[in-house]
Structure formats: C-alpha cells, structure tokens
Amino acid sequence: MTTSIRTKTDPLDSTDPQVLDYMLVPHRNFNLINGVHSPDEVDQIQNWEIRDSDIFAVTYPKSVSTLLGLTGTIWMQQILTLIEAKGDVTPNTEHLNAQRVPWIELIGSEKKFNATPSPRLRVTHLQYKFMPLAIRQKRGKVIYVARNPKDVLVSYYHFHKYAAMLETPKDFNDFFEKFMEGKVFGNCWFEHIKMWYANRDNMNFLYITYEEMIKDLRSMVERMCKFLGKDLTEEQMASVVEHSTFRTMKQNPQANYETVPDSLLDHNKGTFMRKGTIGDWKNHFTVAQSERFNSVFQEKMRDLPLSFTWDINDVTSVT
C-alpha cells in the first residue's frame, strides 16, 4: 500500500513537513506500518523495564469496534483513564485518549514510556512475542479484550476506508481475503488471540470480551477494578460506567477521535466510532464467506476454550 501522508514521530501530530509513504512492512512474521512503526524500536520493547503498576490493554486491531466503530482499544483507553481518575472526567477533556493511554508500538514510544510516572497505562495491537519479557515474570498487568472475529473483520474493513495510513480496499471481498490470509496490520486474528491466551498463566492476565462489555458494562468495569486492585465508591463507579458508554463517548471529541487531523483519518469517508454493535457481519458476509470462516474458526480455535457472541439477539441488554 502506498498512501503518502504527513507524519512525525507521533503519528497523531501531523505538523512535520516530512512526507512518508505508509505501507505494510513484514517483520518477524508480523506486518508493521512504515512511518508509524520502527522494526528496531518494536524489537527493543522486549527489554523495557516494567513496574508492577504498569497496565497494558491488548487488542487485535478493531476488536473493540472502530481506532478501529467503538474499538476495544478506544474503549479501554477511556475506561482505564476513568478508573485511575476514580471517575473524575476532567482528564478526559484535556487530551485525546491516544495521548493519555498511548500505543507502545508507535515510533518514539520508549522515551515517553520511561518518562511517564506510575501508573503507566498503555495499549497495544502487538503479538505476545513482542511484549516486554518482564510481563512473563508477572510484572505489570495485562488485559486482553477479544471480539468475535467476524465483526472484527467488518469493522477493520470500514476502518481501512477511513484511515489514511492503511490501504483502501477494492471492495469487501478483497479485504475478506486479505484478512483471512493475515495480510493486514496485526496479521492473523487467530494467531494473535491464540498466543496471548495460551500464555495467560505466565502473566497477571485478565481476559474479557467486547460483547460482555456491551451486555453489562458495569460488571466488566467491576472485574477490571478488582483485577487492578482499585477500590471505587459507588459514585465513582457510576461515573466511570456513565462516561464509558458508547453514547457518551461518541459525544466526546477526545474519545471519538474527531480532532485527529484529516491527514491520518479522512473524516469525509467515515466516523471513527461507527456503530458499536454485535452481528454487523451479517450485513456483509455472503453465505459462502460465512461458511468458510466458520470452517477456519473451528479448525484453528478447537484447542482454546473460548466462545463468542455472534448476534445482537443473543445479548439481553445493551449499554
């Protein structure tokens, strides 16, 4: 992919006149994005010094619905910030979610990581093999947010049409094939979740799903607080939940990424927070594609005790 756009050390800052071509760059069987990621810097992440208070939220791209509708990533940035602030929304009005809880794989992230006081809140789309070795010694905490992969594929397809740093798909059929072959940033969804989940006992690890968050956000926030050792009052908990709903976040420009420059996200082609629903895949998949996906899913996931919600009708309540 060869989309030229302005970029700088921080891809959310487009003030630098330098122009780069964003394209996928294979590195250790994982696709990075030129101009956004540096293979050498990604390799150095393994050597980062980790504090017990560090928190990493991990998602496959578009797992928490759109950077990639309401993505798991964006949702987690919002929730973690609010939990740390004990429901105080003031920090959420001053900076973008991505600036408060940055990605560890972006160029220049190590310097910012080292300079950040505890607790350091971070998100990542990286595979397990790239993470700091210290988390395997149960330093820090990891929250993995999964989403049913059919909806991930659809959400990621729409994001590709919206994000200037990603190739614009020819059509859904074309993107379907690339997703199934792992020829996207993040590579193969199946490999991503399998390696993280298979190594869960090596870490302080919490696994939750996007669909659980949709069904009962408060219960999920309570689980996160317990995992993180955070004791919130009833009023503080209510504030975290209220300001983490899809409705509230969609109205918050710092959370919905409307302020990100058009050089990175073409706001004329879509909205960062698109739908935040379950089962949208039914509006895109053909019967043949669904059957093929089911076959691959059954083969690759047969050794993992994980189940997913595939239809909104299977959810009793939506926040």
Q: Degrees (nearest 5) of the Cα angle 29, 34, 39?
A: 50
Instruction: Return the closest-CA partner of residue 169 out of 182, 184, 181, 180.
Output: 184
CA nearest neighbour of 157 among 145, 140, 169: 169
Ordered strands of the 141-146 beta sheet: 121-124, 55-58, 141-146, 205-209
Report DSSP state, residue 22. E
Judge whether 158 counts as a catalytic residue. Answer: no
Between CA 86 and CA 95 the distance in angstroms is: 17
Neighbours of 318 (CB within 10 A): 14
Rg over CA atoms, the chain: 18
Token pair belonging to 100: 């408060």
Question: Judging by beta carbons within 10 Å of its beta carbon (0-12, 13-18, 19+), is residue 35 exposed, middle or buried?
Answer: buried
φ, ψ for residue 30, nearest 5 deg: -145, 135
Q: Which of 27, 37, 95, 125 is catalytic?
A: 125
Q: For helices 287-301 and 172-180, what crossing angle results, to 10°?
A: 10
Question: DSSP code of 168?
Answer: P
Q: Which residues are catalytic?
A: 125
